[in-house]
Each structure stands twice: as C-alpha cells, then as structure tokens.
C-alpha cells in the first residue's frame, strides 16, 4: 500500500512539472481534481508541486488559495509561493510572503528562500530588506555562488556598486553568473571601463556575459566598441544568441548605420538564426530608422508571429517616414487581429497624425487611449498632440491643453512649451511666443533653445531691437547655443560632425566637395525659376 502511494505521489509530481511546462490549464484542473478525489491534498509534497504548477501557468490566485488551505507547510511550501510570485513579477507579494514566513513560521529561510526574495528586492530596489537578508546570510548561511550572485544583483540594481564589488572580491568561488551580475551592474551605471576590466578577467565568458558588455556599449553610444567586441566574439567562436544581435541592431538604428545593420541581417540569414517577433522587431526598427521603409515592410509581412511590439515598431516606422495613411491603415489591421495596442503604439499613431496634419483623427486617438484602452497619456503623447495642433496652427488649443495637464512638473512642462514656442515661430504669433518664452525662462533660464526661438520669432516679425535685446540677455546670462551634430556611415564606419568644429582631418576636402555640389544646385534652381516664369507667361 505504501509503495502504491509513493508511486502515485511521484507520478503526480512528474505530471505537475509536465503540465506547467506545456501551459495546459485544462489538464492542470483535471489533475487537481484527481488529487482532491484521492485525498492527496493533505500531502505536503503534492501540494507544493501543485503550487509550483499553478505558478508556471500564471494562476496566481489558485496558487495562493492552495497554500492558504495547506494543513501543514514545510520550507519548500514557502519557497514555491515566493518563487511563484517572483516568476509572475508580483514582487510586493513575494516580499509580503517572506515577511509572513519570518513572523508566523518556526521554519528558517534557506538558500532558495533567500535567492527568490533577493530577486524581489532587486526588482523593487528594496535596499533595507536586502541588507537584512545579507546579515541573515552572514549569520546563518554559507555564501555560495548562487546566493552571492543574488546579493550582487540586488546591490547593483540598488546602485550600491562599491558594496557589490566588496562582496564579489570576497567570494571564494565565483561562477559565470557572479561575473555577469557584476559586469551588468557597472554597465547599467555607465562605468564601462570597470565593466570591461572585469569582463577581460573573467575565466569563463558565456554568451550572456558577452551580451551584457556589448549591450553596455550600445546603451551608452559606444557603437564602434560594440561592433569590435562582437567581432572578437566571433573569433572566440562563441555562438551569439538573438539578444546580442538585437543589441547590435538597436545600435545600428540609433546611429543610422545601415551598412552595419544590413551586414548583421545577412549574418542572421547566413547562420540560420530564426527571425522571431523579437529579432524581426529589431530589424524593422533598424531599417525604418535608416529610411529603408520598404525593407522594413517586407520583414514585417514575412513574420509568422507578430506581437504588440512588432506592430508598434512598424507603425512607428511608417509614421517617422511620413507614411501617414499606411501607418493608420496598419493600426486598423492591428485591431482587427485583436492585438492590443500599448502606450508606444499610440506614440506612433499620434506621430502619424501629426505628420499628416490629421487634427480630428489625432484628437480621437488621443481620447481613445483612456476611454477604450485605459492607457494614461504620458509626456510623449501630449507632445505628439501639441505638435499636431501646433503644425495645424491651433495654438490656443495647444496652450489650453498644456494648462489642463494634471500633476504636471517642470520635466513635463518644458518640452511641451518648447514645442508650442516652435509653433509660435512658424505662425509668427509674437504675443503667445513672448508669454510662453517667459514661462520657460523662469524654469530653464540657461536653455539656449528658448532664447534662440524667441529671437527668431522677433526676427520673423521684423522686431530687430527685441532680437538684439534677447541676444544681450543670452550673453549676460552666459547662455551659449548648443552646436548641432550629425553623423554619416562610410564603409561601415560612422563619422560624427559638430557644427563649428574644424578638427576634422578632411575638413578642406569636405568644403571643396560642398562647393562643387552647391553650384549646380544654384544653377538648377535659377533654370527652374526661368522655366516657371516662362510657363506662367505662356498660361496667361
């Protein structure tokens, strides 16, 4: 009888694992019903397995109900519940359960308890509890590489890099996860030199560690270093995963490096790397930002699976390339296939309306965010709508919209008023321009763009005395105009140029080429004007 019971118990535990992996809720309910019928619900091992199964399935309420109804709990019961909440990103609940365990249970937290709770602390930046757990580890547990990596991750995400480094240096045994946690910590706070130093010292470098370092270079606009490291990765024969490629494609999109992006796309095809929704979305974004919208569309149409991010990336790409009608048409198709738009989707939709001057449609989409999709508009959404109203010359409505924003701080107000000020310059609305500029100067007195725009508004109205006054104020305040910057990719290398900076070694050749380009353009323009005048004469 005992052997039969153990066989049944082990069979159920195996089935819970299989059902959790397959994500089959119906089978889970059948198995749960069988457990209830056979009286196994009082078995702690079986209940723990059911809790873990429901956590994998995302059935958080059922998971908690099972735990609460358990007649007896062991430390694994607490661990699977805490881990279940962490898996479903319910970090506050995970911490609450850990606190209950300390207060209500005689059981002591072990390694899995500590690791799961530290993950929740890291996600919520809950430093104080993290420190308490660290003290508990020092007193009661051995600092294993698993606990060590969880502590490193928690301290790094809470910004305590020096504490994390001290723990790292004191760890007797470090696995690749520890090295990756410390490198990622430095990367996330922009300390790339320290990250690279550790990266080079790491005895084992898996694809995750390479990805962390490459992603850091991309994140902080060190694109050349990212590409060089990827090439070194190839030499070391480390097989890249999709996350490395996504990081590189993101860098190509940021820099407009089409040649490099096309090479990475070719690498993906050559190595037979599956173009899923994640990789496909990155390719769409890269080609869109490099102006190759047709290539982006081909990739989009060729994807078998499209998630919200994929639809959003294509809509935003069409919008930024001035394809207003196609962007809105795609948004309609997105709703037809019941893909749920998110806040980024609406940035693309509102941008499309702004580029197309569709004021009525823009208002309707903006209002539908809250009324239909329960999405609270953010700075970017207000910015798109104000830009739309500004382009259409509806400046009064744009100003009123800014005033109506609830809980608006300076971080929100400044860019919105900046957009309105640009519209005032276009429509030569001096009175509103003065009013808006006055508001902005109170908040950002040293922002050169505010003074420059106001001077341009006065210049458009022929008020040269006021232009000179604004320029004197800029000089008195020590405000300097920020120089413009542009970049171009030649032979796979991205070159950056700053206005007024003569340090480029090929400046003479650039100016010479510019002269050769400009003269034919002027001649062409003069000929066009002559043809236009002749045509006008003939039509009279």
Spatial CB neighbours of 220, under 8 Å, sequence gap ≥ 6: 190, 192
Establish if 264 belongs to a structural domain. yes
Q: Considering the entire predicted model, what is its pTM?
A: 0.73
Q: How many helices (H) and strands (E) does the chain have?
A: 29, 2
Establish if 254 belongs to a structural domain. yes
Token representation of residue 304: 């078998």
Token representation of residue 89: 């990103």
Contact 152/178 with Cβ under 8 angstroms? yes
CA distance 451 to 436: 11
Contact 262/246 with Cβ under 8 angstroms? no
Domain count along the chain: 2
Residue 122's pLDDT is what?
96
Residue 532's pLDDT is what?
40
CA distance 251 to 219: 8
Residue 2's pLDDT is what?
43
CA distance 71 to 44: 8
Residue 259's pLDDT is what?
93
Token representation of residue 345: 């989707």
Establish if 214 belongs to a structural domain. yes
Establish if 161 belongs to a structural domain. no
Range of the domain at 284: 205-290
Residue 418's pLDDT is what?
85
Establish if 297 belongs to a structural domain. no
Looking at 255, 290, 325, which one is the last position of a domain? 290
Residue 410's pLDDT is what?
72
Establish if 238 belongs to a structural domain. yes
Looking at 225, 258, 290, which one is the last position of a domain? 290
- Residue 196 neighbours by CB distance under 10 Å: 18
- Helical ranges in 161-290 per DSSP H: 161-170, 176-188, 192-201, 207-219, 223-235, 242-255, 258-270, 277-289
CA distance 265 to 275: 10
- Across the chain, which has 540 residues, the per-10-residue mean pLDDT values are 49 79 82 80 86 90 92 94 95 96 90 97 96 95 92 95 95 91 95 97 94 94 93 93 94 92 94 94 97 96 95 96 95 94 96 94 96 92 94 93 78 83 87 84 67 79 81 71 56 55 62 74 51 37
Q: Which residues pair with 75 in a beta bridge?
A: none
Residue 9's pLDDT is what?
66
CA distance 363 to 346: 12
Residue 445's pLDDT is what?
52
**525: region left, alpha or beta (phi > 0 left; psi from -120 to 50 alpha):** alpha
Establish if 279 belongs to a structural domain. yes
Token representation of residue 176: 């690749």
Nearest Cα residue to 408 out of 429, 389, 433, 383: 383
Spatial CB neighbours of 466, under 8 Å, sequence gap ≥ 6: 455, 458
- Residue 139 neighbours by CB distance under 10 Å: 7
Nearest Cα residue to 288 out of 263, 264, 322, 260: 322
CA distance 280 to 301: 10
Looking at 290, 313, 347, which one is the last position of a domain? 290
Residue 272's pLDDT is what?
92
Residue 522's pLDDT is what?
60
Token representation of residue 66: 């099972």
CA distance 121 to 151: 10
Residue 28: what are its φ and ψ, rounded to 5°? -60, -45
Establish if 120 belongs to a structural domain. no
Alpha-carbon radius of gyration of the chain: 30
């Amino acid at each position: 009888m005992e052997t039969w019971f153990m066989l049944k118990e082990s069979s159920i535990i195996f089935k819970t694992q299989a059902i959790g992996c397959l994500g089959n809720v119906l089978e889970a309910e059948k198995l749960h019903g069988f457990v209830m019928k056979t009286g196994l619900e009082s078995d702690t091992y079986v209940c723990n397995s059911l809790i873990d199964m429901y956590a994998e399935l995302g059935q958080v309420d059922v998971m908690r109900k099972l735990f609460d109804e358990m007649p007896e709990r062991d430390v694994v019961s607490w661990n699977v519940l805490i881990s279940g909440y962490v898996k479903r990103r319910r970090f506050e609940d995970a911490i609450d359960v850990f606190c209950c365990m300390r207060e209500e249970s005689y059981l002591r937290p072990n390694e899995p308890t500590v690791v799961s709770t530290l993950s929740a602390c890291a996600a919520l930046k809950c430093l104080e509890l993290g420190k308490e757990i660290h003290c508990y580890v020092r007193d009661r547990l051995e600092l294993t590489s698993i606990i060590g990596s969880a502590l490193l991750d928690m301290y790094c995400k809470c910004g305590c890099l020096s504490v994390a480094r001290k723990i790292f240096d004191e760890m007797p045994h470090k696995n690749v996860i520890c090295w990756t946690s410390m490198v990622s910590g430095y990367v996330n706070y922009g300390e790339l030199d320290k990250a690279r130093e550790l990266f080079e010292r790491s005895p084992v470098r898996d694809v995750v560690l390479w990805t962390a370092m490459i992603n850091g270079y991309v994140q902080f606009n060190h694109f050349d270093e990212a590409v060089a490291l990827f090439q070194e990765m190839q030499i070391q024969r480390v097989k890249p995963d999709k996350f490395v490629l996504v990081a590189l494609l993101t860098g190509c999109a940021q820099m407009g490096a089409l040649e490099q992006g096309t090479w990475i796309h070719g690498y993906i095809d050559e190595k037979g790397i599956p173009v899923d929704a994640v990789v496909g979305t990155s390719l769409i974004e890269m080609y869109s930002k490099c102006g190759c919208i047709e290539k982006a569309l081909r990739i989009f149409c060729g994807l078998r699976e499209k998630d919200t991010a994929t639809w959003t990336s294509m809509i935003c790409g069409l919008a930024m390339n001035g394809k207003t009608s196609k962007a809105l048409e795609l948004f309609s198709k997105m709703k037809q296939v019941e893909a749920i738009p998110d806040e980024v989707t609406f940035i693309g939709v509102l941008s499309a309306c702004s580029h197309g001057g569709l004021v009525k449609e823009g208002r309707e989409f903006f209002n539908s965010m809250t009324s239909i999709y329960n999405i609270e508009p953010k700075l970017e959404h207000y910015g798109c709508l104000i830009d739309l109203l500004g382009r259409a010359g509806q400046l009064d409505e744009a100003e009123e919209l800014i005033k109506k924003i609830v809980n608006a701080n300076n971080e929100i107000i400044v860019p919105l008023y900046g957009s309105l000020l640009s519209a005032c310059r276009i429509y030569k609305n001096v009175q509103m321009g003065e009013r808006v500029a006055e508001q902005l100067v109170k908040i950002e007195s040293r922002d050169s763009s505010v003074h420059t725009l106001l001077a341009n508004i006065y210049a458009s109205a022929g008020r040269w005395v006021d232009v000179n006054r604004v320029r004197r104020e800029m000089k008195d305040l020590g405000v300097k105009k920020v120089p413009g910057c542009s970049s171009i990719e030649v032979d796979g290398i991205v070159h950056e140029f700053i206005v007024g900076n003569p340090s480029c070694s090929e400046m003479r050749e650039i100016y010479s080429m510019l002269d050769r380009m400009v003269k034919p353009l002027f001649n062409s323009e003069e000929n066009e004007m002559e043809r236009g005048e002749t045509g006008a004469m003939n039509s009279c």
